[in-house]
Amino acid sequence: MALRIPPELHARLRDLRLSMRGPSLGDGLGMHASRSRGAGLEFAQYRGYEPGDEPRRIDWKLFARSDRYFVREAERDSPLTVWILIDASASMAQSDRARPEFSKLEAARVLAACVIELALRQGDRFGVIGLSGEALQFVADGAGPRQRDRCMVELERMRSGGSITADSQLAALWDRVRPGSLVLLLSDGFDDRLTDLAVRLSATRREVLSIQLLTAEERDFPFRGGMLMRDPESGVELRVDAARARSDYLERFAAARAALARRLAASGIAHVEHVLDRPLDEPLHTLFGAPQRAADRR
């Protein structure tokens, strides 16, 4: 089935806006404040005319007084570059029995499609990276409808499997995700290497946001009787009595989630949990909605 944003979800995106806390470092025209100079709305300075400058940017009144060509420069609005990093490891194939066709990876793909639509609407640049046991799935950053189509094709191809790619492959991200980019990580938070990557990106002038994707069964542990639990990435199996294990599991799982949230917050990373039985726009409103609306949804 082709990846698409459900119409009711698409309608709930209309008041969202991608933004960064600091100035963007992009080039071109967009909706984000930038330190770069160029054609824009707020005057910054004059500079001498250079071959290739547009004639309409010449200040003709100043030319009449000085007999020299000067170009008006302005602080310009610059498009944001948004990178969507998707955890495509084996654990992201997990879903709830009540909705087996909707896995964590499927939720990540739809969330990615929503962010792409927001970036397209704003004139921003965007790219997609899938992280799994296979080679990196990568779409270089670009803008416009064709770039959206390229990203959507890659999202449709994305499959979960294996454990997160080797550190040598992760290192390749540093040349591609440039400082000043906005990075959204979509993951279940079960791999410390992804957390390490997010922290390192944040520490090197990339603004990082995190959505942790969890199943309702992980949250509630509604199981009964004897169970065989298997780690999809390591293959390790464990037999448990669900009723006896439930209290300990819930306590340990809550502690692990809290520890992850604390570590990301200490690195300046905005982090939100999303459980698959909740509306998909909730984490997007928390991260990209108006402050008062985001507070209401927490």
**What's the mean pLDDT in 206-234?**
90
Contact 103, 94 (CB under 8 A): yes
The segment with the largest mean pLDDT, out of 88-92, 156-160, 273-277, is 273-277
Q: pLDDT band at 254, cuts 50/70/90?
A: very high
Distance CA 31, CA 26 (A): 11
Which of 113-122, 141-150, 240-249, 255-264 comes out lowest in average pLDDT?
240-249
Contacts (Cβ under 8 Å, ≥6 apart) of 145: 120
Higher pLDDT pick, 59 / 219: 219
- Residues facing 207 on adjacent strands: 182
CA distances, 29 to each of 70, 84, 196, 197, 207 (Å): 22, 21, 33, 30, 20
Report domain extents, the chain: 7-23+79-297, 32-77
Average pLDDT over the chain reads 84
Higher pLDDT pick, 242 / 294: 242
Which of 3-7, 230-234, 254-258 comes out lowest in average pLDDT?
230-234
Q: What is the pLDDT of residue 162?
A: 80
**What's the mean pLDDT in 108-130?**
96
**pLDDT for 263 beyond 90:** yes
Distance CA 63, CA 29 (A): 27
**pLDDT for 241 beyond 60:** yes
Tokens of 272: 């939100």
CA distances, 298 to each of 1, 11, 65, 106, 289 (Å): 32, 21, 60, 23, 12
Half-sphere exposure at residue 143, Cβ-oriented, CA atoms within 13 angstroms: 15
Distance CA 179, CA 182 (A): 9
Q: What is the pLDDT of residue 96?
A: 97
**What's the mean pLDDT in 263-292?**
93
Question: Letter for the amino acid at 21?
Answer: R
**pLDDT for 43 beyond 80:** no
**What's the mean pLDDT in 5-27?**
80
**pLDDT for 86 beyond 80:** yes
The segment with the largest mean pLDDT, out of 55-59, 214-218, 242-246, is 214-218
Contact 220, 249 (CB under 8 A): no
**Whether pTM exceeds 0.75:** yes
**pLDDT for 30 beyond 70:** no
CATH class name, domain 7-23+79-297: alpha beta
**What's the mean pLDDT in 4-16?**
94
Cα-Cα-Cα-Cα dihedral of 81, 197, 132, 252, to 10°? -120
Q: pLDDT band at 292, cuts 50/70/90?
A: very low
pLDDT tens track for 131-187: 887 778 889 999 999 999 999 999 999 998 887 766 666 777 887 899 999 999 999
